[in-house]
Structure 1
Amino acid sequence: MDPCDALEAFGGVARSTKLLRAGVTAHRLRRALARGEILRPVRGVYCLPGHTSDLLAATCVHAELACVSAARGLGLWTLRPPSLIHASVNHGRALDARFRVHRSEGPLTPLRICLQVMRCLPELDALCIVESAVALGHVPLARLKDSVGGRRDGALQRIVELIDPHSQSVLETAARYHLRSAGFSTQSQVYIRGVGRLDLYVDGILGIEVDGRQHHSDHREFEEDRRRWNLLTTQGVPVLRATHALVTREPDQFLALVRTAIASRRPGH
């Protein structure tokens, strides 16, 4: 097997033992290294040229990515990047200040990663990751519930109870979390005839569309967005557009806008 192809399959970095098990011969490794096709940053570790990542840093210290760092590697939703590299080790040597060390027995499956983040991260950050694991099909919700049934798992159980498997994005998850924490009733992905689905529907009155994009990708998408907006207006469904900055950096302002919008639709206004 070609060393570059093998490294690409492993995320751009791997230990020599892993490459040899995948069918890469020692001779081909030496030849690719001599040609500059691959690099060896430390003994026993190979990577593609120009590759820099948390995975490379962890592999170089005989560790595996864990918790939120592993979740990012799986493509799960993370509300904000971690300040440290979360890693799991099976040796007793200390890691440097770049790392937050987790102890874990056995392979780091998506389920184990979910359990790690729920024990390690703030509630909302953990919810975004575990909800995406369910929504994207990595972990069945029933399996997650079965894994947090202990008497000391109260905090984890609360997170699991907040999961909505219909959520479509990290921003939708964060907006719904803030709304429910403030006492609002919310529904996700509510179908409106002729319009499609609204990301969130609050108190049966207000629609919310979460939008992390800075602009529309093309004219057709712009026109479709305006068509939906006009239909919602004619059907008497007010809609707030919630940006990433509003939901994640100014949740109090987001909630104030929701309260004002709902109050304006109550009888007597």
Structure 2
Amino acid sequence: MDALKYLQEAGGVARTGQLLRAGFSRSDVESLTSRGAIRPRRGVLMLSDHRPEFAAAIRHNALVSCASAASHYGLWLRTAPSQHHLTCDHGHGSGFIRHRTARFDPHPSLPVAAIEDVVLHAMTCLEAPASTAMATSAIRLHGVPLALLKEQLRGDRSRPALKALHELDLRAESIIEVDAQHLFRAHGIAFDAQVAIPGVGRVDFLLEEFLIVEVDGFAYHSSRQALRNDLSRNNASTVNGYAVLRYPPEVIWFEPDRVVAEVRAVLARRPGTLPPG
């Protein structure tokens, strides 16, 4: 691989030693300065479009973790952090959120903590549902064992984080479903998730066996066929005696009181007989 291509794939910033260990000669490394790279400090090469969190990690002799590593692993996180989250075993440096403990081997070529450490740091640093969304996606998308996370947090005696892991609902298939779960729990609204209803199909949430709540992602109705399918499901729900509420992500996020009020209003008017099935 070309040295410049390697540097680009490394997030636009790397130590000279890393490039040498990757098999590039010193002349290859030196040539990078004539190909757009700069040296912000001795032993570091950086491109103009580098990833800022990687640069911060290298500058502080640390690893990117917690919310700052979510995008690297494709973990669910709605809002990017305003400060870098780094893990390091020293007390030097400032201007970032420090995580002390790294239990697992980091990424082999990038200054990024292991996904297990990323989730563990998130569970003890972020508020729910941001923390639980990251944990759910790590388990669902990367196969991180839930038992391993519980074991590590039990050793740290982190009771709130451990409690959140015990209550994790892995049926959520997206960040918006995690956020809706959190909203319902916070207001004492019981629900069942990812329910298959005969004659209707699989729905996001079923409340008190008659109210269907669907939370639509940003890509829904991406085609005319998708729109027809959704309309057909809505009609089938009504024909089978169910009430239906649908919400886009921005309503769940920015108008939670409205969602709760509407759900409670429908539940208060529950019909006397349950739908079949």
TM-score (norm 2): 0.85
**If each structure's strand is expressed as a fraction of its own residues, which one has the higher value?**
1
Give the 3 Å change call, closer, same or farther, for CA 2–195 of structure 1 in structure 2: farther
Give the 3 Å change call, closer, same or farther, for CA 41–239 of structure 1 in structure 2: farther
Task: After superposition, give the CA deviation of every residue in 1:160-218 in whole Å (9 maximum; x if it has no partner).
Answer: 02212221111100101111222222222112335432122222221121124277322
Is the 1:190–1:200 Cα contact (8 Å) retained in structure 2?
A: yes
Q: Tell me by how many angstroms 1:149 deviates.
A: 2.7
SS at the partner of 1:136? helix
1:235 aligns to 2:240 (yes or no): yes
Task: Tell me, in whole angstroms, the C-alpha distance in 1 between the residues paired with 2:22 and 2:208.
Answer: 54
Task: Tell me, in whole angstroms, the C-alpha distance in 2 between the residues paired with 1:111 and 1:35.
Answer: 36
SS at the partner of 1:248? helix
1:217 aligns to 2:222 (yes or no): yes
The equivalent position to 2:130 in structure 1, one of 117, 125, 128, is 125
SS at the partner of 2:80? coil
User: Which structure 1 residue ranges, 5 or more long, are not aligned?
Assistant: none
Is the 1:117–1:126 Cα contact (8 Å) retained in structure 2?
A: yes
Task: Tell me, in whole angstroms, the C-alpha distance in 2 between the residues paired with 1:178 and 1:215.
Answer: 22
Task: Tell me, in whole angstroms, the C-alpha distance in 2 between the residues paired with 1:140 and 1:117.
Answer: 16
Give the 3 Å change call, closer, same or farther, for CA 260–214 of structure 1 in structure 2: farther
SS at the partner of 1:149? helix
Give the 3 Å change call, closer, same or farther, for CA 220–63 of structure 1 in structure 2: same
The equivalent position to 2:172 in structure 1, one of 167, 172, 182, is 167
Following TM superposition, the consecutive aligned residue runs of length 4 or more in structure 1 with deviations greater than 6 angstroms are: none
Q: Tell me by how many angstroms 1:49 deviates.
A: 4.1
Give the 3 Å change call, closer, same or farther, for CA 239–7 of structure 1 in structure 2: farther
Is the 1:127–1:162 Cα contact (8 Å) retained in structure 2?
A: no
Task: Tell me, in whole angstroms, the C-alpha distance in 1 between the residues paired with 2:200 and 2:22.
Answer: 49
Give the 3 Å change call, closer, same or farther, for CA 143–91 of structure 1 in structure 2: closer
Q: What does residue 33 of structure 1 align with?
A: 33
Task: Tell me, in whole angstroms, the C-alpha distance in 1 between the residues paired with 2:193 and 2:16.
Answer: 46
TM-score (norm 1): 0.87
The equivalent position to 1:204 in structure 2, one of 185, 193, 209, is 209
Q: What does residue 188 of structure 1 align with?
A: 193
1:76 aligned partner, one-letter code: L
The equivalent position to 1:177 in structure 2, one of 166, 179, 182, is 182
Task: Tell me, in whole angstroms, the C-alpha distance in 2 between the residues paired with 1:90 and 1:226.
Answer: 55
Task: Tell me, in whole angstroms, the C-alpha distance in 1 between the residues paired with 2:119 and 2:45.
Answer: 29
Give the 3 Å change call, closer, same or farther, for CA 52–156 of structure 1 in structure 2: closer
Q: What does residue 78 of structure 1 align with?
A: 77
Is the 1:86–1:102 Cα contact (8 Å) retained in structure 2?
A: yes
Task: After superposition, give the CA deviation of every residue in 1:41-79 in whole Å (9 maximum; x if it has no partner).
Answer: 433333444234322333233321121112332111113
User: Which structure 2 residue ranges, 5 or more long, are not aligned?
Assistant: 106-112
Identity %: 35
Q: What does residue 19 of structure 2 align with?
A: 19
1:2 aligns to 2:2 (yes or no): yes
Task: Tell me, in whole angstroms, the C-alpha distance in 1 between the residues paired with 2:70 and 2:208.
Answer: 33
Q: What does residue 116 of structure 1 align with?
A: 121
Task: Tell me, in whole angstroms, the C-alpha distance in 2 between the residues paired with 1:41 and 1:196.
Answer: 57
Task: Tell me, in whole angstroms, the C-alpha distance in 2 between the residues paired with 1:226 and 1:255.
Answer: 24
Task: Tell me, in whole angstroms, the C-alpha distance in 2 between the residues paired with 1:168 and 1:35.
Answer: 43
Give the 3 Å change call, closer, same or farther, for CA 151–2 of structure 1 in structure 2: closer
2:3 aligned partner, one-letter code: P
Q: Tell me by how many angstroms 1:146 deviates.
A: 2.3
